[in-house]
């Protein structure tokens, strides 16, 4: 058992009450990796084959929740068959996910079949709903809220995240474009099919195609910062898929193996140990020479591109890198 109590109807909790303590969403990655890559992608679509509603297991959590949340928010619905209020809330979330048209994804988790996910969030009662963006929880509520309140919650979340997550705007533009014959306002911007194709490849898990699409945009428009940032994200996601849970152990045992250091740094960033990853690569730059030193430096700079330029961790790591180089 995971300490999940049978909830009282209409019970509402804040984010701090639903998610107790620091939440490390990468905690399930080890289980997913050990189950193999086929299982990791093995989520089951629900809602009559809807692409915006997915049943998630502990094995598919990394791919279907953490990685998908890079492009659009993923709303995790924690439920159980014995939970009456869950039977009220889940259909509401499914209807809203369909109406959202890809601006967000609904990930349904049966906590009895997947107790590790409930433990991960420190859930005390169900139904519990947690919104994930960029691999981290950003908001939550508990209880079978009425549909207007749930709709308002989702709208507020999208409004906050819209400028940070290109997938939201892309889905909204695609939905707007589907309205036949709708005249555009003078300020409306047409959807860029290059980005639409690249984002669709990311959501499908085809990182090779996504990289090629973003790279073509960058080649044609070297100043396109949106494409550059997206390309860095996709490259990272592709690398992380091939990194296993022993990468850090192997790197610690072989400090002069530059390949091991790069893989370990990727694993640490994926596990939200960003400062540790930066320190590892700065130490490698300080210790190694020649091509190995250049590889460590270039990899560190590439990891910088995953974060906003004003992130204080970036500034600190850049100063440390400068000291290591000079």
Task: Report the Cα–Cα distance between both ends of the chain, in Å, rounded.
Answer: 55
pLDDT in tens, 280-315: 999 999 999 999 999 999 999 999 888 777 788 889
CA distance 68 to 87: 26
CB 81 within 8 A of CB 110: yes
CB 166 within 8 A of CB 69: no
Calculate the average pLDDT of the chain. Answer: 79
Pairing outcome for strands 44-45 and 53-55 = antiparallel
CA atoms within 13 A on the CB side of 75: 30
Tokens for 203? 């959501």
pLDDT in tens, 211-221: 899 899 989 98
List, by residue number, the catalytic residues.
Answer: 83, 86
pLDDT, residue 167, reads: 86
What integer is the mean pLDDT of 253-272?
Answer: 90
pLDDT in tens, 84-112: 889 989 999 999 999 898 999 999 999 99
What integer is the mean pLDDT of 226-235?
Answer: 85
**In the structure, what pLDDT confidence band is assigned to residue 25 with cuts at 50, 70 and 90?**
low
pTM above 0.75, yes or no: no
**How would you label 194-208 residue by residue, b for 16+ Cβ within 10 Å and e otherwise?**
bbbebbbbbbebbbe
Q: Give the burial class of 308: count Cβ atoms within 10 A of its Cβ; 0-12 exposed, 13-18 middle, 19 or more buried.
A: exposed
pLDDT, residue 188, reads: 39
pLDDT, residue 45, reads: 45
CATH architecture of 15-165: 3-Layer(aba) Sandwich (3.40)
pLDDT, residue 36, reads: 41
pLDDT in tens, 67-89: 888 889 999 999 999 998 899 89
């Amino acid at each position: 058992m995971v300490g999940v109590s049978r909830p009282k109807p209409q019970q509402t909790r804040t984010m701090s009450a639903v998610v107790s303590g620091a939440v490390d969403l990468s905690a399930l990655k080890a289980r997913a990796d050990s189950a193999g890559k086929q299982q990791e992608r093995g989520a089951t679509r629900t809602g009559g084959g809807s692409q915006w509603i997915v049943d998630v297991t502990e094995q598919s959590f990394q791919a279907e929740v953490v990685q998908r949340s890079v492009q659009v928010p993923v709303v995790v619905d924690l439920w159980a068959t014995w939970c009456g209020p869950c039977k009220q809330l889940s259909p509401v979330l499914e209807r809203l996910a369909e109406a959202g048209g890809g601006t967000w994804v609904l990930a349904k988790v049966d906590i009895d079949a997947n107790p590790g996910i409930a433990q991960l969030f420190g859930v005390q009662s169900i139904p519990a709903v947690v919104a994930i963006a960029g691999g981290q929880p950003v908001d939550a509520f508990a209880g079978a809220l009425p549909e207007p309140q749930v709709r308002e919650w989702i709208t507020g979340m999208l409004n906050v995240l819209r400028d940070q997550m290109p997938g939201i705007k892309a889905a909204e533009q695609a939905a707007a474009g589907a309205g036949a014959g709708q005249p555009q306002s003078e300020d409306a911007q047409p959807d860029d099919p290059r980005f639409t194709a690249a984002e669709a490849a990311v959501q499908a898990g085809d990182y090779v195609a996504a990289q090629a699409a973003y790279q073509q945009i960058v080649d044609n428009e070297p100043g396109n910062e949106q494409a550059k940032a997206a390309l860095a994200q996709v490259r990272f996601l592709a690398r992380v898929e091939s990194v296993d849970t022993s990468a850090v152990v192997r790197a610690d045992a072989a400090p002069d193996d530059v390949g091991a250091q790069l893989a370990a740094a990727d694993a640490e960033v994926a596990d939200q140990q960003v400062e540790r990853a930066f320190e590892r690569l700065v130490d490698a730059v300080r210790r190694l020479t020649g091509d190995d030193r250049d590889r460590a430096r270039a990899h560190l700079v590439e990891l910088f591109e995953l974060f906003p330029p004003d992130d204080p961790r970036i500034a600190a790591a850049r100063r440390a890198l400068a000291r290591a180089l000079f």
